[in-house]
Amino acid sequence: MSLRTHCQTSGWTLTEQDPFNNITRTCVEAMAAVMGGTQSLHTNALDEAIALPTDFSAKIARDNQIYLRDEIGICDTVDPWGGSYYLEKLTHDLCHKAWEHIQEIEELGGMEKAIEKGIPKMKIEQAAARKQARIDSKKDLIIGLNSHSIKDNDKEFDLLEINNKKVRKEQIKRIKDVKERRDEKKVKLAIKNITQACSNNNGNLLELAVIAAQHRATLGEISTACEKVFGRYKANNQIISGIYKLEIDNNKSFKLAKELSDKFAKLNGRRPRIMIAKMGQDGHDRGAKVVATSFADLGFDVDIAPLFQTPEEVAKQAFENDVHVLGISSLAAGHKTLIPKLIDIINQEENNILIIAGGVIPKKDYDFLFEKGVHDIFGPGTVIADSAIKILNRLLDS
């Protein structure tokens, strides 16, 4: 049986600053995937650290693939490197490191058990925090971000604007139309068969899900049919401490932020408390987890809200946890709808919660969010210790 592999170029390597550098980054990453023998490839757009891609940026991303295929002849040979010793050495090292992870997973009883214990998630978060600290301390250079940066970026281009309310109404209408036209008896039978297969541990769930989809059952209905038996997975949100600090301990900004958090604790009798949350169908949590880990090392008490929360759920948890700061991470263009709604809910009760936002938020939307009540916005490339200093100064002033 052949191993068929899909690859996607990296999202975290994309920068908001000097974004046309992202075309080169994506091209190099795509070339690596093709040289590695991938059968399927997705190339990210140059503006994905700023907003959702436009037709303009998506075409450039696709043309990257066409360029590699048609202009440089990379697909004309199975092994473009021709057995290069250096590449074979890198492959050898990678395989042995991967095998160590595989053995660890096997000792835990397999991937399912490892996921239940949060091991893969923890390893990813540790690596992400370590990398972020190296970028913040300039041990690792990112061109345009912490090296060879330019103050006045005149490379302006159009960004995709998403009307979330309009999209939501259209999607609700589409689902309603589908449900009105489908054969409800066939749908109910197909859903029932899925639940029975889950209960009996017998049958091919993928095949049954395909049949249900062919009868126009929705994804929510199919997953709910499984949930009745299996329940729904809930990630174990752990704070990984010490990783960020280990890489950046001697940094001036880190030391100042730590001093300010200690000062706040001395004045208020408890440490500054921040809750990191994501709302809506935004499951991209790497950045949020890096921020949470880093703030813990900077002396904050940190809470992490579960994924896919509503504004009401986030507000409730923030009040229950008595937080000083509520940080909202947005990477799926929901910031102009979900954040204002959250602020409206929070303002219904007397509070002194500082609202900050971060993630993929275009600068042209900053004023809108400030007017709605957001106190600070920290975009891609922000040094975490610097953001903590700004937040702590606000808390101390208030």
**Are 182 and 292 within one domain?**
no
Ranges of residues in the chain with a pLDDT under 50 are none
Identify which of 272, 274, 251, 245 has the alpha carbon closest to the alpha carbon of residue 386: 251
CA dist 59 and 23 (Å) reads: 11
pLDDT digits (tens, 9 = 90+) for 195-243: 999 999 888 999 999 999 999 999 999 999 999 999 987 777 777 788 8
**Are 309 and 351 within one domain?**
yes
CA dist 224 and 240 (Å) reads: 32
Task: State which of 64, 95, 119 marks the end of a domain.
Answer: 119
Taken in order 332, 224, 311, 296, the sign of the CA dihedral is negative
Residues contacting residue 137 through CB under 8 Å, at least 6 positions apart: 247, 248, 251
58 phi, psi to nearest 5 deg:
-65, -35
**Are 259 and 375 within one domain?**
yes
**Is residue 215 within 8 Å of 181, Cβ to Cβ?**
no
Predicted confidence at residue 153, as pLDDT, reads 59
CA dist 377 and 356 (Å) reads: 6
In a domain, 18, yes or no: yes
Predicted confidence at residue 12, as pLDDT, reads 85
Tally of helices (H runs) and strands (E runs) in the chain: 16, 7
Predicted confidence at residue 233, as pLDDT, reads 79
State the total domains in the chain. Answer: 3
Task: Give bridge partners of residue 41 from the DSSP assignment.
Answer: 7
**Are 173 and 259 within one domain?**
no
Identify which of 218, 215, 159, 209 has the alpha carbon closest to the alpha carbon of residue 183: 215
CA dist 376 and 396 (Å) reads: 15
In a domain, 332, yes or no: yes
**Are 222 and 287 within one domain?**
no
pLDDT digits (tens, 9 = 90+) for 281-304: 877 888 888 999 999 999 999 999
Structural domain of 214 = 164-230
Say whether 332 sits in a helix, a strand or coil.
coil
Predicted confidence at residue 155, as pLDDT, reads 60
CA dist 140 and 95 (Å) reads: 24
Task: State which of 181, 208, 230 marks the end of a domain.
Answer: 230
In a domain, 137, yes or no: no
**Are 320 and 206 within one domain?**
no
Predicted confidence at residue 267, as pLDDT, reads 94
- C-beta neighbour count of 237 within 10 angstroms: 19
In a domain, 149, yes or no: no
In a domain, 38, yes or no: yes
CA angle 202, 205, 209 (to 5 degrees): 145
In a domain, 327, yes or no: yes
Identify which of 365, 370, 342 has the alpha carbon closest to the alpha carbon of residue 278: 342
**Are 389 and 248 within one domain?**
yes
**Are 253 and 194 within one domain?**
no
DSSP string, 156-192: --------HHHHHHHHHHHHHHHHHHS-HHHHHHHHH
CA dist 357 and 335 (Å) reads: 9
The Cα-based distances of 186 to 41, 190, 199, 202, 214 in angstroms read 37, 6, 20, 20, 10
**Are 306 and 386 within one domain?**
yes
**Is residue 290 within 8 Å of 342, Cβ to Cβ?**
no
**Are 191 and 291 within one domain?**
no
CA dist 261 and 259 (Å) reads: 6
Chain CA centroid to CA 162, Å: 19
Task: State which of 119, 136, 154 marks the end of a domain.
Answer: 119
In the block, residue with structure tokens 């059968």: 39
In a domain, 126, yes or no: no
Predicted confidence at residue 280, as pLDDT, reads 86
Residues contacting residue 74 through CB under 8 Å, at least 6 positions apart: 31, 34, 35, 68, 80
In a domain, 144, yes or no: no
**Are 18 and 98 within one domain?**
yes
Its pTM stands at 0.81
Residues contacting residue 165 through CB under 8 Å, at least 6 positions apart: 337
**Which two tokens mark 63?**
């043309």
Cα torsion at 168, 221, 118, 328 (round to 10°)? 10
**Are 253 and 286 within one domain?**
yes
